[in-house]
Structure 1
């Protein structure tokens, strides 16, 4: 029997290769650097991410050409190179770059100068990128497990902190449970269709084969797996405790990166492989969207810890993104892509301010710790105010434009009730976001805290996030056009 090797197109793997090499290089380099030179590991990590971003930008035009629907495959249909995957490569690159900048100052002040931290960030980013490029359910699962395993370790990175240990254990146990649901869903879909390739599943349904109960159950289990990763209700219970206990830089990375990767795979599976079942799965997601928005915002109202407040806020924002997923079509998908970028910038920016304020002190995690900050640290307080305004959806910020596009897509898709519920939830959220601003500018600190210098890297992350948040609020057309270009292969 003659062995036939598969034809491999290496172009789809090009943006992933620098990240993989960077992860391995930083892991080995860490062994030979003295403790005072660990910052070089962070610089190597930034170089790896920058190389991936440049390659992704280079592939956008010359390789794919002028045809917006041009698609290339790495191994059969397993790994996809299209503008959709390239868009998410750029988003994940931005998230990873800001996370590394946050971490450069945060790890030093927390006396945890371990270089393997940056290797784990790169390996997690690699898994997220693979998940976004997956054209096969098995590849998506491999990407899911790759970034999850790295995040389990990162969540418990403060080995001497009981909260960090608790965070890692909860995330590991519940994450493994959700992965089992996802894998079992893949097995059931394979049993019903005979394939795990997304294009072949779509062709199977398009040929007129009625979806068997086995197939519907498998799709439901996939929804459970994705629901866990995006922290939608009722699969959200892990998020507040994990986000609170993990190192702040890791929390920022999880909030932004995990959602981007999960929604990338979510969109590709449900819009490319299961468009024939839009009516069935959109009803379930409609319910999830309403529950997720409402529960996230209502519970955030009573939080006194800013990390827990932002955790429940992230749950609510997952609900807004689900609204656009229900709406579907090019407008709905483009609004998701736009909002993910805006969401990453304003959340990473808020966590950057938290880290910049820390200095050599203990973190300011209680809302009362921010009393009088508007007069003590006016620049950082103004930046935090911008991020809170953006999260609340107040113009002229990226958050406002993102919500505007999402609710407009819902109206365009004739989901008036869902759009109204989303707007009402957004109004509710204004209270707890503005509460932070009121405390900063209208409350007096019980005892003045000494001013500590912020790390240069954290300040740079704050500046990049502020500029991005304001730019997308004032000039959103460019990013929205890129989002529309990137969805031609997955949205009808």
Structure 2
């Protein structure tokens, strides 16, 4: 009997299904060893090595397109859906690393372990995207979260950074409890943690979908995901963590981990909890409106740009939730496209902030960028492009992303939800334009002599601008890829 179990386990192992995250984890461990033997402060080679690791991982990931691999007794599935989200996480991590080296030296924290933590975070995000078992998703979530807790509080001598790390840790641990309790209840009812297994059990036992334990488990599970995507009213950690964390990490948190959370969100809701569609869409309708509205209206009063972008991030999670409410192909492919678009435009905006911030970043306020349009015109134009895309202005990718999301809502009959989304986009114009007005219509109080372009950050800004403009003008090919990534 034991021999059969061992043989079955060996047959079920398929390392191809986890190859991208395996490559990244190996590189992460190598980077830890390299950083131990490197001279303190000499982190540039480590930064570029980690970037190369992500490029190699991206090539390995794309090689699996249209070649799905299942492994570990069906707990992991590297299909087109996972590959698409894996690439978003890789792009976010690569842009983060490019803008980090000079930033860490400026802030006095040139530490090699920083880059290894980013790679481990990305590996955890990949497990979340490819997980078809709730325990695999939980494992990926924990690897991602623990690494991010450290990165959020990376500047140990700064009170804001300590506060960010502690708040993220405590509230993150609290939300993980909800998620794990939800998993336990679902297992108790269905006898499995496999996503497809739960769906099959409910299909065979129609009474299960009305079982109070099943409903409670599903809602607790979704609560854990809602925290990770910063949806209201589970958004309370976002402003303080985004403001206190190192700026490149703030950018990364707003893109890569959020995309991974949405990947798991989509799989769980549309497969395992399909029987609860009516209840889930009703709840998500309210949450989408609440998230969009809370994010946008609180952002109106923010003077710190990082904090403003944190509330903006909350509102964009609300737009993405509209795609989940729609519960159709356009909805979830729209979310996939939107997550890619959001990665480019938000990462680009933070890359500019990395350059214009002084040590300590106390100048990253709306008044702090007065006259930058004349003192640093290239950076001001770049930031303006990203802000216009965040507003949803054509011909940027932000417009195309919102168009697909709202179109999905209209197709499913949620016309008022789409109307509320458009009105919220109109509200967001005020706080985004306020930054642009400060750059171009206010007299400069400083010369921005410290805002010197460096190779890594310049490459990240160029890549982000290319992504924002190309996906805005030619969204078709990527949307077709998103459709092929359906499940």
TM-score, normalised relative to structure 2 = 0.97
CA distances 1:383-406 after superposition (whole Å, capped 9, x unpaired): 000000000000110000000111
Say whether the 8 Å CA contact 2:376–2:448 is kept in structure 1.
Answer: no
> Structure 1 residue aligned with 2:61, among 46, 49, 56?
56
- 1:209 deviates by 2.5
Aligned to 2:443: 444
- 1:359 deviates by 6.5
Aligned to 2:50: 45
Instruction: Work out the CA distance in 1 between the residues paired with 2:96 and 2:470.
Output: 20
Distance 1:228 1:32, change over 3 A: same
Instruction: Work out the CA distance in 1 between the residues paired with 2:226 and 2:360.
Output: 37
Structure 1 residue 298 corresponds to structure 2 residue 303? no
Instruction: Work out the CA distance in 1 between the residues paired with 2:213 and 2:357.
Output: 52
Residue 394 of structure 1 aligns to a residue whose secondary structure is coil
Instruction: Work out the CA distance in 2 between the residues paired with 1:481 and 1:405.
Output: 12
Distance 1:194 1:14, change over 3 A: same
Aligned to 1:21: 26
Instruction: Work out the CA distance in 2 between the residues paired with 1:477 and 1:420.
Output: 24
Structure 1 stretch displaced more, 200-209 or 18-27: 200-209
Say whether the 8 Å CA contact 2:41–2:111 is kept in structure 1.
Answer: no
Aligned to 1:68: none
Aligned to 2:178: 181
Residue 100 of structure 2 aligns to a residue whose secondary structure is helix
Instruction: Work out the CA distance in 1 between the residues paired with 2:350 and 2:55.
Output: 22
After TM superposition, list the pairs within 5 Å mapping 1:74-153 onto structure 2.
Answer: 74-153=71-150
- 1:104 deviates by 1.6
Residue 80 of structure 1 aligns to a residue whose secondary structure is strand
Instruction: Work out the CA distance in 2 between the residues paired with 1:215 and 1:204.
Output: 11
Residue 445 of structure 1 aligns to a residue whose secondary structure is coil
Aligned to 1:201: 198
Distance 1:243 1:451, change over 3 A: closer
Instruction: Work out the CA distance in 2 between the residues paired with 1:363 and 1:249.
Output: 16
Say whether the 8 Å CA contact 1:397–1:470 is kept in structure 2.
Answer: yes
Residue 395 of structure 1 aligns to a residue whose secondary structure is coil
Instruction: Work out the CA distance in 1 between the residues paired with 2:75 and 2:481.
Output: 24
Residue 73 of structure 1 aligns to a residue whose secondary structure is strand
Aligned to 2:167: 170
- 1:72 deviates by 3.0
- 1:127 deviates by 0.5
CA distances 1:9-32 after superposition (whole Å, capped 9, x unpaired): 221111111110111000011011
- 1:90 deviates by 0.8
- 1:106 deviates by 1.0
Aligned to 1:466: 465
Instruction: Work out the CA distance in 1 between the residues paired with 2:288 and 2:337.
Output: 18
Instruction: Work out the CA distance in 2 between the residues paired with 1:345 and 1:451.
Output: 25
Instruction: Work out the CA distance in 2 between the residues paired with 1:104 and 1:113.
Output: 7
Equivalent pairs counted in the alignment come to: 480
Distance 1:447 1:98, change over 3 A: closer
- 1:358 deviates by 3.2
- 1:351 deviates by 0.3
Say whether the 8 Å CA contact 1:46–1:100 is kept in structure 2.
Answer: yes
RMSD over aligned Cα atoms? 1.2
Aligned to 1:364: 363
TM-score, normalised relative to structure 1 = 0.96
